[in-house]
Amino acid sequence: GQSLEQPSEVTAVEGAIVQINCTYQTSGFYGLSWYQQHDGGAPTFLSYNALDGLEETGRFSSFLSRSDSYGYLLLQELQMKDSASYFCAVNSGGYQKVTFGTGTKLQVIP
């Protein structure tokens, strides 16, 4: 089966940088995704890493190390609107079944 671990809560100051880590165990790994979900909203896609290394999209970056079964999401220049839950998710298996982690609740404080 698949399992993912990420911190349950993180607090950071507006304007700062925060890193949310994700470790996973799975067979047939294809890639690691990150999603953002505001309270009462639906998850929205942030990034996808299939290969080792860093992917940058504006203020958000995502990193993957396949050999370490580890990835992280880096959020720079934090804004209050970044307060949300962040989920890592693995794509695995023949049809790339997606398994979500339990989520990290990020609170940005002034």
Partner 1 sequence: EAGVAQSPRYKIIEKRQSVAFWCNPISGHATLYWYQQILGQGPKLLIQFQNNGVVDDSQLPKDRFSAERLKGVDSTLKIQPAKLEDSAVYLCASSLAARGGEQYFGPGTRLTVT
Q: Which range binds partner 1 by CB under 8 A, 21-29, 43-51, 64-72, 76-84?
A: 43-51
Work out whether 44 is an interface residue with partner 1 (CB under 8 A): yes
Q: Which helix H or strand E contains 19, and what residues bound it? A: strand 18-25
Work out whether 60 is an interface residue with partner 1 (CB under 8 A): no
- Residue closer to partner 1 by CB (options 95, 110) is 95
Work out whether 101 is an interface residue with partner 1 (CB under 8 A): yes
Bin 29: left if φ > 0, else alpha if -120 < ψ < 50, else beta. beta
In whole angstroms, the minimum distance from the beta carbon of 63 to partner 1 comes to: 15
Q: Could you tell me which residues come within 8 angstroms of residue 55 by beta carbon, excluding any fewer than 6 positions away?
A: 47, 48, 49, 61, 62, 63
Cα of first residue to Cα of last residue in the chain, in angstroms, is 41
Work out whether 51 is an interface residue with partner 1 (CB under 8 A): no
Question: Which residues lie near partner 1 (CB under 8 A)?
Answer: 30-33, 41-45, 48, 50, 87, 89, 91, 93-103
